[in-house]
């Protein structure tokens, strides 16, 4: 697509987007395209401006039992703060932990003691019984937005194994030769289920533009398992899902927390379009090494936004744009760096990125 040249009038503030969870609102400029189209342009690797998170909205409806169990419902009705827990789609009980602001499976009595038990013990959910039509009606107005709609899906592959077995047993099952084949077959079976669920989402919520799927692979300092093991056990199952979603015209974002530097080649092999890691990851180095193969959420250099002068804020934005706004290697500003997004920084980054992308 032809990228329009930057015009100073684009900096006109035409409205304000409400802040997330009580945060200040964000100015909406006179963009040359809709917020949705701006996000889609990034995924097509034809960026119009630097994406900062303003352009998308999250959708995690209660029709998926996992969202209720995990206390992560984002839809028209939402979820009362402090609520959550109960059975997920497999009947595994989660318990809401107020101090953590989320849910976990109560430890001590894992559903599976050995991965080989899954063939007989797991009862697969009947997703046709979920109230898809009711959810469609309830969320009609919620999804009437000019933003890019991202459907968040918790409990991917390794996370699901943890819910069945607890973390230590799940990690051991990955490496144990007597359990690994059962784990691999379970991962592929999960992908078959997820594809059926995503087909329902796409059918009943055609407003969805992309999917963000969770599967945490690391701790603060290191990945949970070797890249070779992930490539053997997890990547084929992931690729099955991303290939399907791409065939339906949907973008695929991986939400994988923890230190993941060693796993980026597996994220690429798994067919993911984008990934934005936490602060323990050197996103600048990752962008340099892999940004031409997967869209990286780059964390800006963090500075004291409250005490920095306006000229310092604008200089920081210019530096970010110079390093990471490459039309042939698009990125987005990682949410973990949102603290730098002062009005001056945001305006300068938008202007600088528009000038670069439309050159």
pLDDT tens, residue by residue, 269-289: 999 999 999 999 999 999 999
Percent pLDDT > 90 in the chain is 93
- Mean pLDDT calculated for residue range 144-152: 97
Instruction: For residue 335, tell me if it sits in a domain.
Output: yes
Instruction: For residue 65, tell me if it sits in a domain.
Output: no
For residue 156, what pLDDT band results from cuts at 50, 70 and 90? Answer: very high
CATH of the domain at 165: 3.20.20.210
Instruction: For residue 175, tell me if it sits in a domain.
Output: yes
CA distance 243 to 252: 9
- Mean pLDDT calculated for residue range 29-39: 97
Instruction: For residue 69, tell me if it sits in a domain.
Output: no
Instruction: For residue 100, tell me if it sits in a domain.
Output: no
**Could you give the number of structural domains in the chain?**
1
Per-residue pLDDT, 60: 98
Q: Domain of residue 134: give its range.
A: 8-51+108-357
- Mean pLDDT calculated for residue range 39-53: 97
Per-residue pLDDT, 23: 66
β-pair partners for 29: 13
Is 80 exceeded by the pLDDT of residue 19?
A: no
Instruction: For residue 71, tell me if it sits in a domain.
Output: no
Instruction: For residue 96, tell me if it sits in a domain.
Output: no
Instruction: For residue 212, tell me if it sits in a domain.
Output: yes
pLDDT tens, residue by residue, 181-203: 999 999 999 999 999 999 999 99
pLDDT tens, residue by residue, 284-342: 999 999 999 999 999 999 999 999 999 999 999 999 999 999 999 999 999 999 999 99
Give CB contacts under 8 A, 24+ apart, made by 322-326. Answer: 322/352, 323/284, 324/50, 324/284, 324/287, 324/298, 325/47, 325/50, 325/352, 325/353, 325/356, 325/357, 326/291, 326/356
In this structure, the dihedral spanned by the alpha carbons of residues 166, 245, 227 and 175, taken in order and rounded to 10 degrees, is 40
Cβ proximity of 250 and 209 under 8 Å? yes
Q: What is the pTM of this model?
A: 0.96
């Amino acid at each position: 697509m032809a990228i329009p040249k930057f015009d100073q009038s684009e900096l006109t503030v035409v409205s304000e987007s409400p802040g997330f969870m009580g945060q200040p609102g964000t100015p909406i400029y006179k963009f040359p395209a809709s917020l949705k189209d701006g996000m889609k342009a990034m995924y097509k690797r034809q960026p119009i401006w630097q994406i900062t998170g303003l352009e998308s909205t999250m959708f995690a409806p209660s029709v998926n039992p996992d969202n209720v169990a995990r206390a992560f419902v984002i839809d028209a009705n939402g979820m009362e703060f402090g609520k959550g827990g109960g059975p997920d789609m497999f009947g595994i009980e989660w318990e809401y932990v107020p101090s953590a602001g989320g849910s976990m499976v109560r430890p001590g009595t894992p559903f599976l003691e050995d991965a080989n038990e899954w063939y007989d013990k797991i009862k697969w959910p009947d997703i046709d019984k979920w109230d898809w039509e009711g959810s469609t009606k309830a969320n009609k107005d919620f999804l009437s937005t000019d933003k890019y709609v991202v459907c968040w899906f918790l409990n991917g592959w390794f996370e699901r194994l943890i819910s069945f077995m607890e973390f230590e047993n799940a990690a051991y099952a990955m490496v144990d030769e007597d359990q690994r084949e059962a784990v691999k077959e379970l991962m592929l079976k999960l992908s078959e289920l997820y594809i059926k669920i995503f087909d329902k989402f796409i059918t009943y919520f055609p407003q969805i533009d992309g999917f963000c799927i969770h599967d945490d692979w690391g701790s603060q300092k290191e990945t949970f398992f070797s890249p070779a093991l992930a490539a053997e056990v997890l990547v084929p199952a992931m690729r099955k899902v991303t290939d399907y979603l791409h065939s339906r015209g949907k973008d695929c974002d991986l939400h994988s927390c923890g230190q993941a530097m060693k796993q980026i080649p597996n994220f690429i092999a798994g067919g993911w379009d984008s990934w934005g890691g936490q602060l323990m990851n050197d996103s600048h180095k990752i962008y340099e090494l892999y940004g031409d193969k997967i869209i990286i959420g780059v964390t800006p250099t963090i500075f004291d936004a409250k005490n920095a002068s306006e000229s310092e804020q604008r200089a920081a934005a210019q530096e970010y744009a110079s390093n990471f706004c490459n039309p042939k290697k698009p990125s987005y500003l990682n949410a973990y760096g949102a603290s730098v997004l002062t009005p001056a920084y945001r305006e300068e980054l938008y202007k600088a990125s528009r000038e670069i992308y439309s050159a």
